[in-house]
Structure formats: C-alpha cells, structure tokens
Amino acid sequence: MPDAAAGVLVTPRLVLLPATIASLEAELLSPRALGEVLDADVPESWPPELYDADAVRWTIGWLQANPQAASWCMYYIALAAPLDRGRARLVGICGYKGAPDASGVVEVGYGVLAEERRRGYAREAVRELITRAFADPGVRQVVAHTLPELTPSIGVLQTIGFSLDGPGSDPSEPSAIRFVLTRAVYEASLPARSDLTIAPRP
C-alpha cells in the first residue's frame, strides 16, 4: 500500500487507497505501473468510465497545489485481499473534489469498472467518504453531481440518503444534476445504517 499522509480508509470489503502524485503519474503510464506503485492488482480494463487522463492530470495539479489537504482528494477503491494470500484488486475510484468550502460544503465523486458494478462497491465507498466528511464538525453538507441518464449512479446516491437539488453548477458539465445530503439527514439515518445489505463477495 502507498505511504501517504492521507491514510487508507477501510470498509467491510474495501480499502480506499489515497491517490498520490507518484500513483497518478504511474497511472498515466499503464495499469501495470499503477499496480506496482500501489502494490495492488489493476485490471487491464482500467480506468473506469469518465475517468480519463485529463482527470488524472487535474488531480496531480490539485495535490501539488494543496499538499496539506491530500485527504480531501481522490482514493482508489480496492477489493481487500484475502487474509492468507494475494493483493488488493482495484475496482474503481472515489473521493472528494477538494476540501470543504467556507460554507461547509464538500463534493464527492466516484466511478466503478463496468465489470465490477452492481455489487455495492460504489455505495460502500461513498458511505465511507460521507462518514469521514461529517466527522469534521465544519461540514454541513455533502454534494454530488451525476448525469440524468446514469440511473445506477443516481440509485447509489438516493440509497445513501442524497436528494435531488436541481441542475448542476459546473459549466463544464451543463447537463449534470446535483444531489445533496445534509448533516441533519445524515445524522437522522445513523440508527438505520446497520440495515445495509451488501452483495456477497465473489
């Protein structure tokens, strides 16, 4: 696993490995190079849909400009390795689009490889992101953007408790729609969070 100040986040089935400049630069080379940096298996189908070289370069620039806020950046979603053998296997990406702003709003995003979808990985990873976000008392709202035609992505957000808030505000994605999860809604859902059903691990 990478040695990064941001730290690794752990869920029942997943490890969220923080992106570093080294891992991102390796990612621009090949899936194999990325796997060597992360000490993880990276499928040849990498990267997930809508996550391209421009996004990688943007993330490198953000980390270079904000090294003190690396924990509010991108994570690789990896299926944890069995205790007795093997390495973790990348199944997608997730993370924050920067630290919370002055009004206490932070944005999350995510993407999962096509062959790894419908197994609950995105939901499990995003739940961990919002749990970590609301652990910061200054965060009052988590937002996410997706496209109207991405029904599975919308389902992930709604299952976690996000509500549609209207059109997105990013001019580079004029057709995106915005979802919001407030602290009040998140805290009200806490007693029920143990009811989460997770698909069996293959």
pLDDT digits over 78-132, tens only? 999 876 668 999 999 999 999 999 999 999 999 999 999 999 999 999 999 999 9
Per residue in 22-52, pLDDT tens?
999 999 999 999 999 999 999 999 999 989 9
Identify whether 200 is part of a domain. Answer: no
Tokens of 139: 């965060």
Number of domains making up the chain: 1
Apex CA 16: angle with CA 56 and CA 129, to 5°?
90
- What's the Cα-to-Cα distance from 126 to each of 30, 65, 85, 131, rounded to whole Å? 26, 25, 27, 8
Task: Name beta bridge partners: 153.
Answer: none
Identify whether 1 is part of a domain. Answer: no
CATH number of the domain that residue 33 is part of: 3.40.630.30
Identify whether 17 is part of a domain. Answer: yes
Identify whether 3 is part of a domain. Answer: no
Residue 181 DSSP SS3: strand
- What's the Cα-to-Cα distance from 125 to each of 68, 92, 97, rounded to whole Å? 23, 10, 15
pLDDT at 172: 73
On whether the pTM is more than 0.85, the answer is: yes
Identify whether 129 is part of a domain. Answer: yes
Identify whether 4 is part of a domain. Answer: no
Domain residues for the domain of 110 are 9-195
> Do 25 and 60 contact (CB within 8 A), yes or no?
yes
pLDDT range class, residue 189, cuts 50, 70, 90: confident
pLDDT at 4: 37
- What's the Cα-to-Cα distance from 179 to each of 77, 86, 87, 136, 196, rounded to whole Å? 22, 37, 35, 20, 20
Least-confidence region, from 22-26, 137-141, 187-191 = 187-191
Identify whether 173 is part of a domain. Answer: yes
Indicate if the pLDDT at residue 145 is higher than 50: yes
Identify whether 202 is part of a domain. Answer: no
